[in-house]
């Protein structure tokens, strides 16, 4: 199993576990997530692209994978995702370029078709 598959598997398992434990905090987090990414003045696609850039800056591989996948599902194309990653690089400086390497691997996986 590759790194991306492993991250997805772990994320899904944690999600299921927290739901089975009836975590009120996690359930509230999921509601915040729904509200944050709902179309509003900014469409969901744009919000996901913002999250891609932030994910690069904070070096959250699971976040990068999730938000790149969600951006693509929301209609973002490869160039739009790349530009979101580039904004993250600029905002994070040198350390973000390391995170961007992982984001580029995810991007390659998502847009391989």
| CATH superfamily placement of domain 3-110 | AhpD-like (1.20.1290.10)
Checking if the pLDDT of 113 tops 70, the result is: no
Cα-based torsion angle of the residue sequence 46, 52, 58, 63 in order, rounded to the nearest 10 degrees: 120
State pTM to two decimals: 0.87
pLDDT of 44 reads 98
Question: Is-contact 49 71, C-beta < 8 A?
Answer: yes
- Residue 77, number of CB atoms within 10 A of its CB: 11
> In angstroms, rounded to a whole number, what is the distance separating the alpha carbons of residues 43 and 46?
5
Kindly write down the DSSP assignment for every residue of 5-74, as one continuous string. Answer: HHHHHHHHHHHHHHHHTT-HHHHHHHHHHHHHHS-SSS-HHHHHHHHHHHHHHHT-HHHHHHHHHHHHHT
CA angle, residues 102, 105, 109, in degrees to nearest 5? 140
| CA nearest to 8, candidates 111, 113, 110 | 110
pLDDT of 34 reads 97
Provide the pLDDT confidence category of residue 96 given band limits of 50, 70 and 90: confident
Instruction: Give the tens place of pLDDT for each residue, 19-33.
Output: 999 999 999 999 999
pLDDT of 48 reads 98
pLDDT of 38 reads 98
Instruction: Give the tens place of pLDDT for each residue, 36-78.
Output: 999 999 999 999 999 999 999 999 999 999 999 999 999 999 9
């Amino acid at each position: 199993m590759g790194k991306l598959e492993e991250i997805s598997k772990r994320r899904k398992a944690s999600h299921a576990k927290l739901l089975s434990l009836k975590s009120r905090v996690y359930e509230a987090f999921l509601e915040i997530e729904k509200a944050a990414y709902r179309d509003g003045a900014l469409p969901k696609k744009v919000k996901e692209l913002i999250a891609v850039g932030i994910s690069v800056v904070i070096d959250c591989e699971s976040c990068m994978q999730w938000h790149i996948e969600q951006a693509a599902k929301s209609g973002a194309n490869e160039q739009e995702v790349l530009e979101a990653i580039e904004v993250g690089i600029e905002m994070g400086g040198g350390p973000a370029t390391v995170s961007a390497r992982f984001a580029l691997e995810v991007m390659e996986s998502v847009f391989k078709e």
